[in-house]
Amino acid sequence: MNYFIKYPKLSQFVILLILFSLLCILINPSENNFLWRFPSLIAGLPHLINDSVSYLMYDFMPIDVYDPEIEEYEERPLIKEFTRTLSGVILFCIVFIREILIGGVKTIVFFTGWDFIREHKWLYWPALPWTVVAIGTIILGYSLRGKGLALLAGCATMYIAIFGQWEPAMETLSFVLIAAPVSFALGLFFGVLGYKNKTVETLLNPLLNVAQTMPHFSYLVPAMVFFGVGDHAGALATIIFATPPMVRLTMLGLKNVPSEVVDAGKMSGCSEFQLLYKVLIPTARRDILIGVNQVIMQCLAMAVIASFIGAKGLGFNLLLALNQLRIGQALELGVCIVLIAVVLDKLSLAWADKQTDYFADKSFIERNKYKLVFLAVLLFGFLLAYLGTFIFKEGFNYFYIIPHNKGITTENFWQAGVDWIWDTFFFTLKAFNEFLIIKILMPMKHAYLSMPVVATFLLVMGVGYIIGGVKSSLIVGGFILFIALTEWWDRALITAYMTTFGVLVSAIIGIIVGSLCAQYKISSKFILLVCDTFQTFPSFIYLIPVIMLFGVTDTSVLIAVIVYATIPATRYTVEGLRGVPQSLQDAGSMSGVNRLQRYIRIELPLAFPHIMLGINQTVVFALFMVIIGAMIGTDDLGQYILKALSDKKGIGNGLTLGLCVAFIGLAVDHLIRTWSIKRKSALGIL
Amino acid sequence: MSLITKSKSSEQAVIKCESLYKIFGDNPELMLKKSLDSVNAKEFQDAGYVVGVNNASFEVYKGDMLVVMGLSGSGKSTLLRCISRLTEATSGKIFIDGEDLLSMNNKQLIELRRNKMGMVFQSFALLPHKTVLENIAFPLQVKGSSTEDSIKKSMEMVELVGLSGRENYFPRQLSGGQQQRVGIARSLAVEPDIWFLDEPFSALDPLIRKEMQDEFLRLQSILNKTILFVTHDFDEALKLADRIAIMKDGIIEQLDTPANIVLNPATEYVRKFTEDVPREKVLKIESVMDPLKKSEKLSNLKVPYDALIEDVAEDVLSQSKPVGVLDGNQKVIGVVYSSKVISVLFGKRTSNENKNM
């Protein structure tokens, strides 16, 4: 009893659990009992969204626009005209880059017209030979960083070319080369705005919170409605998705610039603008570069998902391969995406690190050697391609472009591998699968679904109250209420159950692995590098190997979730444990603790708030993966979002469902963050 | 004393403050108005306001070095920031070369900073992404100088502060003392008339600090800038200053030459600082000088009026006759008795002792 008095929070929690169980037992599960399930009062919300969107798109503020086709002025709604123009601009940019890389006529047609091009066949842009692009990338890598990056760039481009993925890869690249810089610029712009203006910041923060917890899929439906289907819609969805982390990191970085540095800039006589781009942004570049990295990752993650609304390239092929269960091909495509992500990331980092040498008295050739070499490569590449026409008399000119799926492929090898695994371990895998589904997943799912809604509220709001008082309780209550009042409460519970399972397993694995690795400096470094690498992979990639092993089941989704969500748990554990101040370690050593005691008594309590922030990330990662798992076929919120994609009036459903997912994430985020901040300030390590 | 107080009334002050106030809080103007020009820090604090600078008035002349000394929270940095207009003063007037600083618009302010002001910061405030050379060239580039010119000028600065060979290092690769040399070089790159230094040596180790102080004096002897120097270290103030302003709770308690502060502390607070100061390190011969009597026979040794007692005490004491004191024109203007020197060196510090001098 004394124990409970000593720890009042614990006793509160026990009482809460007792009440929760009582409610679960007492409330009668019937559709008419509002204690069991709330009536879906805001079931009309999706329709409302649909109606307002279609009003905006088709009836709002008509303006007169000159239509050259019928040579007359026509009345068109403002928003639609705007989105159409925007789509046009974006599409033009994408096509322009794409045609430089793999040839085409659309850009030239845009300026001249089809008739003109029919008369002048020579205007057809022939595409850069792949050799030129590959060597160009190598030169770029070498000029920016040196041999290492050149080697990486070389391997990546060679891989893509040799495996016959050149065309789709260039399509994806052209898409990313537009989406990433636009996201970067937008993110920087809003980040700076938020830094300069307090009101903007308070407005941005909740928006960013929601945007960063909305699943990828939810961005597709609105993009489709406003911008139609195609590369431009995919690019725009990607931009909307990739900008929020950039905004957030820009604001964070700018805020962390030491005030004396700002003063030094002012005293050096900087104007507002000079202060911004010569002092603030460069000084904050560590965080801003993390933002750039995030943007590139998100763009490539979306490159796959955007193929749902017609973005061409590797993502589309990957989706196709996954649907046909061609694991080998999916794997090769996945590697391509990862390689592009890694190379772009490293190139952008190296570019940001570039230095100028002021004293070098160089000749023209010295100064422009890389450009000259590239020029030579360009000539040489075209020459080689021309020679190729004599060598490869029939079929394809491999010196010019290696056509899609005409390269080498290891598909058969992987397929054989999968078949072998299936043949050899069929019963083991099946037994494991069945055990997991029947003994763990089904009972858990059932338990979640048999929670009366009132009991859920009691539990969540109670935890909120214990952690952060009435305010927290009301905030999380509000989030959950929104979901409870939609017609998808049961679906949300299924999402919650899958996420909970994933998070529990990930957290356990992550904390154990992290703790073990944090014992030594070298192993910490190693594991952080592994985490970095894995984080580079677009989330979709994780589905490939698990489908390979477990086929199309819930198990596959959950294992992908666990693999993906373990990354942040591990990373934060290592960071937290390594971050324990050396003086405390020494104090421990001088008090004569052994290794285990040190871990339990000193390191873990101090690192725990930071680890919890990792768990917070784990929740978001898990949630995203569960939703993407809809691809494999689950029956949670994600599946309904996916359905909304093929629905003509899907925007309302898609957005509302996206908000539901976001609110689950935000509720958990609020609880963990509040706890972590309180705990950190209690420990005096904030 | 009249000898060293150079006549400056005809000359225009480079920096001039008139009843400057800085009050932090929600509506400082209103609060100041209500107080009717008698600001009491305690009352303001109870009302939720913090008094940074309380009715500061002073002038700094060309080539003069004013050291503002005070403990943390005394408002010394706030005063400096008001004069550099990094913080907007609540009320009062500041004139830089006769121009009203507080009425300048943003453009004029930037012009002023680009051409007339340089500032050194406590934690160096170097741009982490720029090399030593780029950091020093920064104010020049901001001003719009060509790359070639700014690099040439910066290289001169690198040499001036003794960092040759390290111009391509990044700040993180330098020691604290070296970083502050970069900070000093940067603040001097545009050849400003006015030089602000905000506790420039506080973050350095004692030995490096002494080295940097000597370096600073060397630079000032070459450059002869008008300087406002903020420090919390009284010894540093004594060592560097032409005049010292001692601040407490935003009020300038006393503003005078180091010797006068040590000899005649205006308030109890100032006296506490001066108590343990070895006076021979501060006082000059003229402060123990007696008028010349015609009949008196002087020793062959003569000392200049502005020599520190510490430096000449041994020579003076080894003479049997009184020692003559020379002015700047090598003319004997007074005499020093060894008894006076002994009393400075070994005498008990009592409050009425000063009156005897």
Do B135 and B190 share a domain, yes or no?
A: yes
Are A269 and B142 inside 8 Å of each other by CB?
A: yes
What percent of chain A stands above pLDDT 70?
A: 96
| Domain of B230, in residue numbers | 61-86+102-279
Do B272 and B349 share a domain, yes or no?
A: no
Q: What local confidence, expressed as pLDDT, does residue B349 receive?
A: 55
Structure confidence by residue, pLDDT tens digits, A583-634: 888 888 888 888 888 888 888 888 888 898 899 889 988 998 888 888 777 7
Q: What local confidence, expressed as pLDDT, does residue A519 receive?
A: 87
Structure confidence by residue, pLDDT tens digits, A59-86: 777 777 777 777 777 777 788 888 888 8
Q: What local confidence, expressed as pLDDT, does residue B4 receive?
A: 41
Burial track A343-367 (b if 16+ CB lie within 10 A, e otherwise): bbbbbbbbeeeeeeebeeeeeeeee
Distance CA A293, CA A182 (A): 14
Are A264 and B126 inside 8 Å of each other by CB?
A: yes
Of A444-453, A560-569, A644-653, the poorest mean pLDDT is in A644-653
Give residue A335's region: left, alpha or beta (phi > 0; psi -120 to 50). alpha
Q: Which CATH number fits domain A172-326: 3.30.1480.10, 1.20.1090.10, 1.10.540.10, 1.10.3720.10?
A: 1.10.3720.10
Mean pLDDT across the stretch B229-241? 90
Do B185 and B164 share a domain, yes or no?
A: yes
Phi/psi at B265 (5° precision): -60, 130
Q: Chain-wide mean pLDDT for chain A?
A: 85
Of A206-210, A470-474, A533-537, B50-54, the poorest mean pLDDT is in A533-537
Residue in B closest to A263 by C-alpha: B86
Distance CA B148, CA B152 (A): 6
Q: Both tokens of residue A660? A: 């539901």
On chain B, the residues whose CB falls within 8 A of the CB of A265 are 127
Of A95-104, A361-370, A654-663, the poorest mean pLDDT is in A361-370
Does residue B41 fall inside a structural domain?
A: no
Do B273 and B285 share a domain, yes or no?
A: no
Do B274 and B335 share a domain, yes or no?
A: no
Are A267 and B133 inside 8 Å of each other by CB?
A: no
Confidence of residue B135 (pLDDT cuts 50, 70, 90): very high
Which of B77, B86, B147 to mutate: most A Cβ within 10 Å?
Answer: B86
Does residue B248 fall inside a structural domain?
A: yes
**A338-347, A634-643, B61-70 — most confident range:** B61-70
Does residue B319 fall inside a structural domain?
A: yes
Do B275 and B340 share a domain, yes or no?
A: no
Do B246 and B320 share a domain, yes or no?
A: no
Residue in A closest to B186 by C-alpha: A268
| pLDDT at residue B7 is higher than 60 | no
Do B208 and B273 share a domain, yes or no?
A: yes
| pLDDT at residue A96 is higher than 60 | yes
Q: What local confidence, expressed as pLDDT, does residue A357 receive?
A: 65
Structure confidence by residue, pLDDT tens digits, A328-349: 888 888 888 888 988 988 888 8
Residue with tokens 């009992």: A33
Mean pLDDT across the stretch B104-114? 91
The alpha helices in A518-603, defined as continuous H runs, are 521-536, 543-550, 554-578, 582-590, 595-597
Q: What local confidence, expressed as pLDDT, does residue A395 receive?
A: 66
Among the partner-chain residues A271, A279, A359, the one whose CB lies closest to the CB of B127 is A279
**A484-488, B64-68, B353-357 — most confident range:** B64-68
Distance CA A493, CA A450 (A): 10
Do B144 and B241 share a domain, yes or no?
A: yes
Q: Which of B214, B246, B279 is the last residue of a domain?
A: B279
Q: Which helix (H) or strand (E) holds A42?
A: none
Q: Compute how many other C-beta atoms are within 10 angstroms of the C-beta atom of residue A40.
A: 14
Does residue B201 fall inside a structural domain?
A: yes
On chain A, the residues whose CB falls within 8 A of the CB of B130 are 282
Do residues B182 and B136 make contact, with C-beta atoms less than 8 angstroms apart? Answer: yes
Residue in B closest to A277 by C-alpha: B142
CA-angle at A351, arms to A349 and A352, nearest 5°? 65
Do B219 and B352 share a domain, yes or no?
A: no
Are A282 and B130 inside 8 Å of each other by CB?
A: yes
Distance from CA of B74 to the nearest CA of A (A): 19
Are B142 and A355 inside 8 Å of each other by CB?
A: no
**A30-39, A60-69, B145-154, B284-293 — most confident range:** B145-154
**A53-67, A154-168, A420-434 — most confident range:** A154-168
Which of B84, B87, B121 to mutate: most A Cβ within 10 Å?
Answer: B121
Does residue B111 fall inside a structural domain?
A: yes
This model of the complex carries an ipTM of 0.81
On chain B, the residues whose CB falls within 8 A of the CB of A281 are none
Q: Which of B229, B264, B279 is the last residue of a domain?
A: B279
Structure confidence by residue, pLDDT tens digits, A291-337: 888 898 888 888 888 888 888 888 888 888 887 878 788 888 888 88
Among the partner-chain residues B86, B114, B127, the one whose CB lies closest to the CB of A263 is B86
Q: What local confidence, expressed as pLDDT, does residue B353 receive?
A: 45
Among the partner-chain residues B81, B122, B139, the one whose CB lies closest to the CB of A268 is B139
Q: How many domains does chain B have?
A: 2
Structure confidence by residue, pLDDT tens digits, A123-156: 677 777 888 888 889 998 888 888 889 999 999 9
Distance CA B235, CA B57 (A): 24
Of A391-395, A650-654, B110-114, B327-331, the poorest mean pLDDT is in A391-395
Does residue B6 fall inside a structural domain?
A: no
Burial track A198-226 (b if 16+ CB lie within 10 A, e otherwise): eeebeebeeebbbbbbbbbbbbbbbbbbb
Q: What local confidence, expressed as pLDDT, does residue B351 receive?
A: 43
Query: If we measure between CA atoms, which residue out of B116, B267, B265 comes closest to residue B196?
Result: B116
The alpha helices in chain B, defined as continuous H runs, are 28-34, 41-46, 76-83, 106-115, 132-143, 147-160, 176-188, 206-223, 234-240, 258-263, 268-274, 309-317, 338-346, 353-356
Q: What local confidence, expressed as pLDDT, does residue B352 receive?
A: 42
Distance from CA of B250 to the nearest CA of A (A): 21
Residue in A closest to B170 by C-alpha: A355
Which of B127, B130, B194 to mutate: most A Cβ within 10 Å?
Answer: B127
Do B157 and B273 share a domain, yes or no?
A: yes
Do B202 and B80 share a domain, yes or no?
A: yes
Of A27-41, A415-429, B321-335, the poorest mean pLDDT is in A27-41
Report which of residues A372 and A386 the model is more confident about.
Answer: A372
Confidence of residue B341 (pLDDT cuts 50, 70, 90): confident
Residue in A closest to B128 by C-alpha: A283
Among the partner-chain residues A261, A263, A267, the one whose CB lies closest to the CB of B127 is A261
Mean pLDDT across the stretch B67-87? 91
Does residue B29 fall inside a structural domain?
A: no
CATH number at residue B310: 3.90.1280.20
Q: What local confidence, expressed as pLDDT, does residue B274 receive?
A: 85
Q: Which of B279, B312, B329 is the last residue of a domain?
A: B279
The maximal CA–CA distance of chain A, rounded, in angstroms, is 94
Mean pLDDT across the stretch A507-522? 92
On chain B, the residues whose CB falls within 8 A of the CB of A271 are 110, 142
Which of B88, B115, B129 to mutate: most A Cβ within 10 Å?
Answer: B129
| pLDDT at residue A503 is higher than 90 | yes
